[in-house]
């Protein structure tokens, strides 16, 4: 399917290419249109309009409870694991509405990997953690799995630290290493987009730095959307930043613009630390 799919994308996103400088960087991965989301009676996301580009790091910032994590989890429909969630509107992933009845969540989540707030390796060996994704998608060949494991661990910059202990339990390494193993596990299914939900909030500064460097490295091959409550982190690693407040997108622009010259007073108050 890939060839025709890519061609479709080109046609659909041709409009965006005109404005961008580099043609590849301006293609959209996610176009969110009039997205609303309710947890029961609680209106958590209100009329979200966001256009997320390929091979960029998009940071989502905002105070606790502003809906930033909810939005991230909507992008791979993990939010539906919470009972009583209702949505309206559209999220187009590569031009296709992810809420379509015939769009299976399993397919979507194979294309869109996720890294969670708390490192959550499986209580299995490091090898089995990385091989989990490929295995559930039907890869059984030991040689191919070996290659995927090495490639993914190298991709997450942790191969040298764990290559001699692949058969040890993933919980035997430090928290920062566990988080990079989780990133490697997400890479193993060769996703198109990686969603990161405050991936460094449980880590020490040195591990945080390593993950941030890794994100810079990964954006060459992946589109990354990262939720963070650390504004310096957003400023350091992202190309675009979206500021969420009370379930609304207040401002979405180039990270430099957001942090140096925000157009909304509330954005300015938040990034200057006046609230949040």
Partner 1 sequence: MRYVEHDTVVRRMNGRMVVNTIFKSIFLLATLTALLALFVLMYQIVTQGISHLSFGFLTNFASRFPEQAGIKAALVGSIWLMAVVAPTSIILGVGSALYLEEYARQNRITTFIRMNISNLAGVPSVVFGLLGLTIFVRALALGNSILAAGFTMSLLILPVIIVASQEAIRSVPGELRDASYGMGATKWQTIVKIILPAAIPGILTGSILALSRAIGETAPLIVIGVPVIIQFLPAGVMDTFTALPMQIYDWSSRPQQEFQQVAAAGIIVLMVVLLLMNSVAVFIRNKFEKRY
Contact positions vs partner 1 (CB under 8 A)? 76, 78, 81, 83, 105-110, 113-114, 116, 118, 120-123, 132-133, 136-137, 169, 171, 182, 185-186, 189
- How far apart CA 186 and CA 166 sit, in angstroms, is 17
Q: Which is nearer to partner 1, 16 or 38 (CB)?
A: 38
How far apart, in whole angstroms, are the C-alpha atoms of residue 199 and residue 211?
Answer: 8
Q: How far is the CB of 174 from partner 1 (least distance, A)?
A: 15
Please state the closest distance from residue 63 (CB atom) to partner 1, in A: 23
Q: Which is nearer to partner 1, 52 or 194 (CB)?
A: 194
Q: Which residues of 1-39 are buried (b: 16+ CB within 10 A; e: fewer)?
A: eeeeeeeebeebbeebeeeeeeeeebbbbbbbeebebbe
Which residue number, 38 or 116, has a Cβ lying nearer to partner 1?
116
Shortest distance in whole angstroms from residue 109 CB to partner 1: 4
Specify burial of residue 93 (Cβ count, 10 A radius: 0-12, 13-18, 19+).
buried
User: What is the token pair recorded at 33?
Assistant: 């249109």
Instruction: Give the three-class secondary structure for 233.
Output: helix
Report, in Å, the least distance between residue 219 CB and partner 1.
Answer: 20
Residue 224 or 250 with smaller CB distance to partner 1:
224
Give least dist CB 176 to partner 1, A.
17
Closest contact distance (angstroms) between CB of 213 and partner 1 is 23
Q: Rank residues 66 and 189 by Cβ distance to partner 1 and give the closer one.
A: 189
What b/e readout covers 129-158, taking b as 16+ CB neighbours within 10 angstroms? bbbbbbeeeeeeeeeebeebbebbbebbbb
C-alpha–C-alpha distance, residues 264 and 245, integer Å: 12
* Residue among 108 and 214 whose Cβ is closer to partner 1: 108
């Amino acid at each position: 399917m890939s060839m025709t799919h890519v061609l479709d994308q080109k046609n659909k996103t041709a409009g965006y290419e005109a404005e961008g400088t580099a043609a590849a960087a301006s293609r959209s991965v996610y176009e969110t249109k009039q997205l609303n989301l309710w947890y029961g009676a609680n209106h958590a996301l209100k009329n979200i309009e966001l256009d997320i580009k390929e091979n960029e790091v998009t940071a989502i910032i905002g105070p606790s409870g502003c809906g930033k994590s909810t939005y991230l989890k909507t992008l791979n429909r993990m939010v539906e694991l919470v009972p009583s969630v209702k949505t309206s509107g559209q999220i187009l992933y590569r031009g296709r509405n992810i809420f379509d009845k015939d769009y299976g969540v399993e397919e979507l989540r194979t294309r869109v990997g996720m890294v969670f707030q708390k490192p959550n390796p499986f209580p299995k060996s490091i090898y089995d953690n990385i091989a989990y994704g490929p295995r559930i998608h039907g890869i059984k060949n030991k040689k191919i799995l070996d290659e995927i494991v090495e490639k993914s661990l190298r991709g997450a910059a942790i191969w040298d630290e764990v290559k001699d202990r692949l058969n040890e339990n993933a919980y035997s390494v430090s928290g920062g290493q566990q988080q990079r193993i989780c990133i490697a596990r997400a890479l193993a299914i060769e996703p198109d987009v990686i969603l990161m939900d405050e991936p460094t909030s449980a880590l020490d500064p040195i591990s945080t730095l390593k993950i941030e460097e890794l994100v810079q490295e990964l954006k060459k091959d992946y589109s990354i959307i990262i939720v963070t409550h650390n504004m310096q982190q957003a400023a350091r690693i992202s190309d675009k930043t979206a500021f969420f407040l009370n379930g609304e997108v207040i401002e979405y622009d180039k990270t430099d613009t957001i942090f140096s010259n925000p157009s909304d007073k509330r954005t300015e108050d938040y990034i200057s630390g006046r609230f949040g």
